[in-house]
Amino acid sequence: MRLLVTGAAGMLGKDLVRAAEAAGYDAVGLAREDADITDLAAIDAAVRESAPDIVINCAGWTDVDGAEASTEQAHRANAEGAGNVATAAASAGAWIVQISTDYVFDGNKRSPYVESDAPSPLSSYGHSKLAGEREVVARCPDMHTIVRTSWLFGSGPCFPATIMRLAGERDELTVVDDQVGCPTFTGHLAEALIELIDAHALPLGVVHMAAAGSCSWYEFAREVLASGGVRCELRPGDTTDLARPARRPAYSVLATDWGPIVPRLPEWREGVAEYMSAGMPAA
């Protein structure tokens, strides 16, 4: 079976190609310079040439705050781009797996969000990702799986790398403790996605896949520093004090109603430990 991964130069894309190859799949990775997903002709040609059985779309706009000032660009990548990949997959007769986000929710719930909960994004980024989900459903109505995940970190620029860098520059850091989610190590998510494909039971519709457990950004940072053996004064802060351009959901913990068909990821602290042991903070 051949898998095609778009966004293959990104955190999750790199880990997916690696996990697919380790599992014995014929994996093809496409970075932006190989085929820009906002260019339908380019992505269609790339998909046809690869002739995949499954396309996993990891490409898109990931700058949450930047999307507020660049709404059109974010929409072009996350909505129109996702639609282009889905169109190309449909033309090639391939199943599409679209990676989405917990930021499609508004965070007003105080129990984990499941797939049947109604999305209500707060930010331009969240709106663009939700629009991308809908484009995929419209273009591949019978051959799609939309995977929502949460707070990704892995090889490359990410929250733990930033915390480790700042801790080396400052004696004290303030991190918000009023946003709660599921920090998800891309290595674990990639392995779970391949396990889902291995089962030959890709579910039609939306699936939530994120690390087990939940925490605030403050608790996440504290675990990163402890795992790295770094001494730095860490103080809890409020989201309102940061004045960030994009609104974030205060609570975006994900759970699934799919039962055992969906692989369970390790607890988020295990992801931090694996990330730190691999020396990722050098990014």
Decide if 125 is catalytic.
yes
Token look-up 């605030």 returns: 216
For tokens 């992505």, the residue is: 43
**CB within 8 Å of 270: residues ≥ 6 apart:** 185, 188, 211
Which one is catalytic: 25, 103, 113, 125? 125
Distance CA 234, CA 230 (A): 11
The answer to whether the CB of 37 falls within 8 A of the CB of 87 is no
Q: What is the CA radius of gyration of the chain?
A: 18
What is d(CA 175, CA 21) in angstroms, rounded to the nearest whole number? 37
Measure the CA–CA gap between 42 and 35, rounded to whole angstroms. Answer: 6
Phi/psi at 194 (5° precision): -65, -35
* Residues designated as active site: 125
